[in-house]
Amino acid sequence: MKASSFCRSPGHALLTLAATLLLGQIPGLADQNAPKKKLVVGFSQVGAESGWRTANTESIKTEAAKRGIDLRFSDAQQKEENQIKAIRSFIAQGVDVISFSPVVETGFEPVLQEAKRAGIPVVLSDRAVKVSDPSLYVCFLGSDFIEEGRRAGKWLADKTGGKARIAELVGTVGSAPAIDRKKGFEEVLAQHPDMKIIKSQSGDFTRAKGKEVMEAFLKAPDAKEITAVFAHNDDMALGAIQAMEEAGLHPGKDIIIISIDGVRDAFKAMAEGKLNCSVECNPLLGPQLFDIIEKVAAGQPVPKRIVTEEGVYDQSVAAATLPKRQY
C-alpha cells in the first residue's frame, strides 16, 4: 500500500472530524461565518412640524440604512399619546433599543418603566424627559436648549444696546426646547431692565401658527411698541415675517427678529435682510445617535448626557455660509 493511500484511510477521516468538532467548541470560531444579526431599533419622532424636524428625520433614516440597522420608525404627529403607543409597540416587538424625541417632557415614566422591565434600553434624542428614576433611560443626546436661549438673549442685548420691547413666539407648550429656551433667554433679560417681553404666545413650532400668532400681535392696540421678535424656532420666525410683510412692515428693519435652529430657509431670510439672527440647533444627529445606540446594544458604557456643538449666525455671514448648509 502506498503512503498516499494510507493518508486517506478511514482513520484519517475520523481525525479530521474530531478536529472539526474541537474547533467548534472554541468560543467565536463556530459562528465566525454565521450571518450577523441585524440591530433592531424603534424610533419615535415628534412629527414633521418644521424644516429642522424634517432634516433630523432624514439624518436618522439615512444613517440607519447606511449601517444596515432595522429601523422601526414612527411619526407621533406632535401627540404624546401617539408616542406612548409607539413605544409600547416597540416593546411588544422586542426591539434591541428604543430611541425617541419626546413631544413634551412629562408623562413618559410609566411606559419607560415598561421598557425597563422588558430589558430594553432607551436613548433620548434631541429632547429630554422629566422622570423620578434617571435609570429609565441610558443617555440623552441633544442641544443645550437653555444655552441656546442665552445666546439669543445675548445677541439681542448687544444688537439693541440692552433696550427692546419683545414679542415672543413660544414653542410647543410643555416641550423641553420651549421651556429651556425661554428660561435661558429670560436669564439674560434679567440683567437688562430695559429689555421686556410684552407679548408671549405659543406658535407650536410651525410656520402657519407662527404667522397666525404674529398677525394677532400686530392687530393688538400696543402693536407699535414691539421692537423685536424672539421665536423659539426658525419656522415660527418665517411665519412671523410673512405676517409682517402682509401688514406693510419691513421685517429685519422695522422689527428685529432672532430665532433658533439655523435651517436653510432661515439663512435665505437672513441673506435677504428679513431675519437678523439664527442660533444654531444642529438636527443632523443620525451619526452620533447610532454611535451611541450601537454601544448601548453591545453593553458598552456611554455618558448620561452628550451635548452637540453649535454656533450663532447673523446677516453678516448668512450669504457666505448658505451654500455650505446641509439642512
Prediction pTM value = 0.84
**Are 40-142+284-308 and 145-281 the same fold in CATH?**
yes
Name the pairing type of β-strands 256-261 and 228-231. parallel
Grid coordinates belonging to 315 = 446677516
Question: How far is the C-alpha of 126 from the C-alpha of 205, rounded, in Å?
Answer: 15
Q: Note the CATH number of domain 145-281.
A: 3.40.50.2300
Task: Look at the block and give the residue holding cell 472539526.
Answer: 20
Task: Report the C-alpha gap between 289 and 127 in whole angstroms.
Answer: 13
Place of cell 442685548: 157
Cα distance between residue 279 and residue 309, in whole Å = 12
pLDDT for the residue numbered 34: 54
Domain ranges of the chain: 40-142+284-308, 145-281
Tell which CATH classification among 3.40.50.300, 3.30.70.260, 3.40.50.2300, 3.40.50.800 matches the domain 40-142+284-308: 3.40.50.2300
Find the DSSP H helices in the chain: 3-7, 10-24, 51-66, 80-93, 109-117, 145-160, 176-189, 207-219, 234-246, 264-271, 286-297, 315-321
Using an 8 Å Cβ cutoff, are 53 and 45 in contact?
A: yes
Cβ neighbours around 28 below 10 Å, total: 6
Per-residue model confidence (pLDDT) at position 324: 86
Q: How many CB atoms lie within 10 A of CB 9?
A: 11
pLDDT in tens, the chain (327 residues): 333 333 334 444 444 444 444 444 444 444 455 557 899 999 999 999 999 999 999 999 999 999 999 999 999 999 999 999 999 999 999 999 999 999 999 999 999 999 999 999 999 999 999 999 999 999 999 999 999 999 999 999 999 999 999 999 999 999 999 999 999 999 999 999 999 999 999 999 999 999 999 999 999 999 999 999 999 999 999 999 999 999 999 999 999 999 999 999 999 999 999 999 999 999 999 999 999 999 999 999 999 999 998 999 999 999 999 998 888
pLDDT at position 326: 84
